[in-house]
Structure 1
């Protein structure tokens, strides 16, 4: 009986080791699938399916032919291709309609699958690493860049992400896609040409260690919670944009945003903000009457705000970001 117990223990230990080894790749796979799919929810589903397939077919893994990481990326790519068979392309509001004018109606909301969705930094970015590499990774998950990727056919999308973001060699990408190196290079050239025609916005990366940007965010939060319109307008770039998925309504330019913010009786007058991070950018849970209302993602350019995207789906997004649905009250002191 003791020998059987030891055998079972060794087997369980081996199984646990394989599961842990597979799970070590979860963050980078989630980031890859997010860039491919444009949705944090779908990316997590894709990675879960990838790990399940890898476990089920673990006996097929040939360490002599490819590393575990490459094998997992190949599985993840096929999972994403399966999920991208629908012709629907996720987008931002500015990719769909012209900018609205102050005073225009929001219109009808569009389904969730219409939109590029936000994703928590903790699910897609390593907690530490080379600052230059982390800056590249943050740029590659910005909402504008992920929306631009959706213009590419799935195969070109995968090639561009693997080559230009993850820095794979052409022969490695060709092996993953089971194609020739020439074919992979051709797909990359076409993908780059397409992205060259897409407006990616001129926003820069966000460095959490930049004191000027910390001060900007502090001023933004204080002004937002005081409903200080003068300061809220002052921290915007002249060509800033504001959008509110699931509505196609969006504004372009500080003047138009200012006009909307100054309309009397704004419902956000007493709202509160709770910080988080999304898509390599500062973000906030927005609370109205103490209850989760929206997720606000800010894209910065220097010391000003270039884009504000307010996702009006708190019940679905807050659990993904680990945000409470009720604004936390300060601890009482005795």
Structure 2
């Protein structure tokens, strides 16, 4: 058995890598739930083969090799994950129906920062980590072939050398550099310019406070002042999405007016400010879960409002209460 396992349990050596591996798998797969499954599979494989791990490479490198193979296997038969904006043109705020829900397997979903950013990280590392788990960035990654995706994440996000990536993937440095060049070209064509969340930034704090106040009061006029003119609103797993003040506010004042009287509970999702939204309960008391709202900010205004409606799975993942009394 490797010396690294002497005197302590195998699990104690694996567990410190859980959050960074979850972040890696989330970027690869676009789903918090699939990422956690992939990491669990990685740990099971590592545990089973630990006696054959002879320390020829660092434990971290070995685990990333296993995790990469797990993700590449999962992606061989998976449909590419998307956002509603990838499926077709924007809809109308006058729509009376948002369409039939699409399967969870097609959507890029949010992840709690606490699951993908190691505790005690340097503040600069936290900001960099948030940059690379933003919804727009993770969605753009899904346009890359799986091995290109892995190369770009390892080289650009995790700062591995070309030689380290080549060794991990069993290929050449020239092949890695070629894949990275193609991946960069694809990402350059995607819009990934939304700001990273900085909880101590006074401008962002003020913007979010105004958003909560306007939303809970359902003051659509006040909300208008907070949105970019070409802001988007989406509601996975429903395919309908809208762009611009007019359609967003028409929807909120019409078909979406059931959100009037909602309460918001702040969380952080995919490096972005987010809120658990609770709508007034139909039974007459308290508030029931309705959506995880993830906001994208750009230039001091809200550029995207992403309402993830799968509260049965997302609220427990984010530690949000089952209802508000």
TM over 0.5: yes
Following the alignment from structure 2 to structure 1, what is the Cα–Cα distance between the partners of residues 300 and 182?
A: 35
Following the alignment from structure 1 to structure 2, what is the Cα–Cα distance between the partners of residues 60 and 192?
A: 37
Following the alignment from structure 1 to structure 2, what is the Cα–Cα distance between the partners of residues 264 and 20?
A: 51
Following the alignment from structure 2 to structure 1, what is the Cα–Cα distance between the partners of residues 316 and 41?
A: 21
Following the alignment from structure 1 to structure 2, what is the Cα–Cα distance between the partners of residues 245 and 321?
A: 17
Residues 87 and 20 (structure 1), Cα distance of their counterparts in 2 relative to 1, 3 Å cut? closer
Deviation per CA, 1:275-332, whole angstroms, max 9, x where unpaired?
11100011111112211111110111132111110011101111111111111x4xxx
Match of 1:30 in 2: 22
Following the alignment from structure 2 to structure 1, what is the Cα–Cα distance between the partners of residues 308 and 112?
A: 13
Larger mean Cα displacement after TM superposition, 171-180 or 245-254 = 245-254
Larger Rg over CA atoms? 1
Match of 1:3 in 2: none
Are residue 135 (structure 1) and residue 132 (structure 2) matched? no
Q: CA deviation at 1:204?
A: 1.4
Match of 1:273 in 2: 264
Q: CA deviation at 1:84?
A: 0.6
Following the alignment from structure 1 to structure 2, what is the Cα–Cα distance between the partners of residues 59 and 151?
A: 38
Provide structure 2 residue ranges, at least 5 long, that are not aligned to the other structure: 282-286
RMSD over aligned Cα atoms: 1.6
Following the alignment from structure 1 to structure 2, what is the Cα–Cα distance between the partners of residues 265 and 19?
A: 48
Match of 1:41 in 2: 33
- SS of the residue aligned with 1:239? strand
Which of 229, 246, 249 does residue 238 from structure 1 map onto?
229
Aligned pairs for 1:1-334 within 5 A: 14-16=7-9, 18-63=10-55, 65-104=56-95, 105-200=97-192, 202-263=193-254, 266-288=257-279, 289=281, 290-327=287-324, 329=325
Deviation per CA, 1:100-139, whole angstroms, max 9, x where unpaired?
1221231111100010011111101134433333222111
Following the alignment from structure 1 to structure 2, what is the Cα–Cα distance between the partners of residues 199 and 303?
A: 17
Indicate conservation of the 8 Å contact 1:34/1:40, yes or no.
yes
- SS of the residue aligned with 1:98? coil
Indicate conservation of the 8 Å contact 2:102/2:238, yes or no.
yes
Following the alignment from structure 2 to structure 1, what is the Cα–Cα distance between the partners of residues 238 and 247?
A: 17
- SS of the residue aligned with 1:299? strand
Aligned residues: 314
Provide structure 1 residue ranges, at least 5 long, that are not aligned to the other structure: 1-11, 330-334
Following the alignment from structure 1 to structure 2, what is the Cα–Cα distance between the partners of residues 195 and 303?
A: 24
Q: TM-score of the superposition, structure 1-length normalised? A: 0.90
Match of 1:8 in 2: none
Indicate conservation of the 8 Å contact 1:91/1:115, yes or no.
yes
Following the alignment from structure 2 to structure 1, what is the Cα–Cα distance between the partners of residues 171 and 210?
A: 52
Indicate conservation of the 8 Å contact 1:213/1:302, yes or no.
no
Q: CA deviation at 1:94?
A: 0.6
Deviation per CA, 1:132-189, whole angstroms, max 9, x where unpaired?
3322211110111111111111100000000011110000000000111111111111
Q: CA deviation at 1:19?
A: 1.2
Following the alignment from structure 2 to structure 1, what is the Cα–Cα distance between the partners of residues 73 and 123?
A: 34
Larger mean Cα displacement after TM superposition, 156-165 or 229-238 = 229-238
